[in-house]
Structure 1
Amino acid sequence: MSDQMSVTRTVQATPQQLFALLADPARHQEIDGAGMLRGAEGASSISGVGDEFVMNMHNDALGDYRMKNTITAYEQDRKIGWAPALHPIDGYTDKLGDTRAEGHTYTWKLEPEGGGTRVTQIYDWSGVQDDNFRGFFPMLGEAQLGDSIEKAGAAAAS
C-alpha cells in the first residue's frame, strides 16, 4: 500500500483565487472535507516555506485539540503545502501516550485549465516515523480530499 493519496479535480476558480484562499488559514474551515477544523488561531496570510499557523481541531478520539502547521511548499499561484503536527507535540499524552503525531503533509498543486484550475491535492504520510501514529493512516479518504477541492473551488470563486 502506498503512503500517499492524491485526488485531482477541475474547478471553476482561477489559480490566483485558489492560492489566495489556501494561503489564508482563517479560511481553511471553508474547505474542510473531513469536518474537523474549528478555526485558525491568530492566523495571518502565508508568505513562504517555513511559515506556521495553528489550527483548532476536533475529532471523536481526541475531542478538541490543536495542530501547528508548517509550510513545506510555496510557489505563488501554483503550489502550497503544509505539515501538521500536534501542538504542543507532547500535550495530549493523557489520550495518546508518547505517540508523536507528526510527519504527514497536504500539498495542493494548481494548474490553469480553460477558464478554471486543475487542482491536485496530495495527502502524504510517508514521513510519519512513529509506528503508533502510522497505524492511524490514512485518516482521510479520496472522497474527503475531493470534497475539499470542490469546496475550495466554490469558496475561491465566490
Structure 2
Amino acid sequence: MSDEKRITVQRTIDAPTTAVFDVLSNPERHPEVDASGFVVSDEKTDRITGTGQVFRMNMTGDHMGGDYQTDNTVTGFDPNHLIAWHTAPADTEPPGWEWTWELTAQGSDATDVVLTYDWSKVSDPTTLQQVGFPLVSHQQLEASLGNLAAAAVR
C-alpha cells in the first residue's frame, strides 16, 4: 500500500518475532536488511533498547553528494512488536520522515512484518527537493523484507 507520502509493505517471515526483532534492534545488522543500497554500516552503536535513543549510521547516496551519516532517533519501541525511528542528517534535527516496523507473531515460528516509510511530516522545501521523496521505492522496501527474512534465520 502507498499513498502520496507513505509506503507500506508487508510480509510473513518464517522466523519467530524474537529473531526478527533481534535483527531490527541491532543497528550493526541494518546493512543486511537494507535493499536501497544507502546503508553502509553503523557507527558502533549499542543495541536499541528504548525510545529516545539515537543511533548513527554510515550512508552513501548521490542525493547527499556521496558518503554521509544519519542520526536515527527511536520514536517507537515495544520489544518483539514495534520499532520505529526518525532519520536525519547527522547532528541535525529530524526533518520529518520515519521508519516503522510492526511485528505480529503468527504462532511460534512465523512473524507478520509491516514496514512503513512515512515522509508526510517533511515540510522543508529544501529537504523535499534535495531528497526527492520517496527516496526508497516500494520494490526496495519489499526487497528489504526479503533481506530481513534471510537475516532473521542466520
Question: TM (normalized to structure 2)?
Answer: 0.91
Paired residue for 2:4? Answer: 2
The structure 1 residue matched to 2:27, chosen from 3, 25, 28, is: 25
Paired residue for 2:124? Answer: 130
Percent identity for Structure 1 against Structure 2: 34
Separation (CA, whole Å) in 2 of partners of 1:53 and 1:74 = 14
| 1:9-60 deviations in Å (ceiling 9; x for gaps) | 1111111111111000011010011011111112110110101100000012
Paired residue for 2:97? Answer: 104
Q: Which runs of 5+ in 1 are unaligned?
A: 90-99
Paired residue for 2:140? Answer: 144
Q: Which runs of 5+ in 2 are unaligned?
A: none
Paired AA for residue 154 in structure 1: A
The structure 1 residue matched to 2:113, chosen from 100, 116, 119, is: 119
Separation (CA, whole Å) in 1 of partners of 2:80 and 2:115 = 14
Paired residue for 1:94? Answer: none
Paired residue for 2:149? Answer: 153
- Greater than 2 Å deviation, 4+ residue runs: none
Paired residue for 2:62? Answer: 60
Paired AA for residue 132 in structure 1: T
| DSSP 3-state at the match of 1:29 | helix
Root-mean-square deviation (Å): 1.4
Q: What is the deviation of 1:70?
A: 0.3
| Match runs of 1:26-105 below 5 Å | 26-61=28-63, 62-89=65-92, 102-105=95-98
Separation (CA, whole Å) in 1 of partners of 2:76 and 2:151 = 22
Question: TM (normalized to structure 1)?
Answer: 0.88
Separation (CA, whole Å) in 1 of partners of 2:14 and 2:111 = 6
Separation (CA, whole Å) in 1 of partners of 2:50 and 2:25 = 9
